[in-house]
Amino acid sequence: MELTGVILAAGRGSRLGDASAELPKPLMPVAGRTCIDFAIDALLKVVSRVVVVVGYRAELVEAHLANAWGDAPVTAVRNPELEAGNLTSLRAARVAIGSGPFIVTNADHLFPVDMYSRWFTARSGVSIACEKSRPILEDEMKVVEQAGRLVAISKTLPRYDGAYIGTTAVAADVTQDYWQAFDEVAATADLRSASVEMVLDRLAAAQTGVRSNACSAATPQVRWIEGLNWYEVDTPEDLAVARESLAQSLTR
């Protein structure tokens, strides 16, 4: 069964300020490329096709995909709910994903090209990419794990073991479980702020609705990734760091 890569790229990136007034964050130039090029390039090393969910200035992102990736198995779907949480972006891609396995990631996470072939390789079940050997910022998505399994994930956890770095792999054996949890979250959460991480938190909970030590095949596995050089483009400062660091790497 073919593996699909999904890139969430619908947001404006308002924290970038004036820089995103006309140009959507996925198209921010970094080291001669755009942010979304990094995501596509890494995914195409392991997936059969890539689905990009667009929203803000969708026509610009679609034009870039046609020009830069026209010969590659890359397609775009639109999320019309621009002010909603990114759960709605994954919902917009659901038909294109189908019932098969997939990897979902963010357009503003600039991973190296061997991210999925070396650092975060395919496994069974649900796997999430996390880090713990660096300072965790206040607004990061934090995780608690036990024996390699996710216990909780939220930005507001008072105690945590590390941070989620925005990438989840859902294998063929648990896609049904994942989408069931997705539907449960979509039916009860406020879609204006609902996130894909809420699905992971739902999967981490026991079937009775209370947390316990019980695990199932769909309980997310925490994959600690250390030594990975990657960049998140969320603020003007982030963008400047990514540009400088990646430009320097190209001259070495």
Please provide the DSSP assignment of 137-168 as one string.
PTTS-EEEEETTEEEEEETT-SS-SEEEEEEE
53 has a pLDDT exceeding 80: yes
The whole-angstrom separation of Cα 112 and Cα 230 is: 7
**Paired tokens of 225:** 């990734």
The whole-angstrom separation of Cα 155 and Cα 14 is: 19
Segments making up each domain of the chain, as ranges: 1-120, 123-165+183-225
> Do 89 and 56 touch, CB atoms closer than 8 A?
no
17 has a pLDDT exceeding 80: no
Q: What average pLDDT does the structure give for the chain?
A: 92
The number of residues making up the chain comes to: 252
30 has a pLDDT exceeding 60: yes
Q: Tell me the mean pLDDT in the region 104-116.
A: 97
Q: Is the pTM of this model over 0.85?
A: yes
| Kind plus residue range of the DSSP H or E element containing 76 | strand 74-78
Is pLDDT larger for residue 79 or for residue 16?
79
**Paired tokens of 131:** 């880090």
Give the pLDDT score at 22. Answer: 79
The whole-angstrom separation of Cα 62 and Cα 80 is: 14
User: Where residue 12 falls among pLDDT bands split at 50, 70, 90?
Assistant: confident
120 has a pLDDT exceeding 50: yes
DSSP 205: S
- Pairing type for strands 126-131 and 221-224 reads parallel
- Dihedral sign of CA atoms 151, 157, 159, 160 in order: positive
Q: Say whether domain 1-120 belongs to CATH 3.90.550.10.
A: yes
Give the pLDDT score at 13. Answer: 76
Give the pLDDT score at 16. Answer: 81
Q: Tell me the mean pLDDT in the region 2-18.
A: 88
Give the pLDDT score at 249. Answer: 72
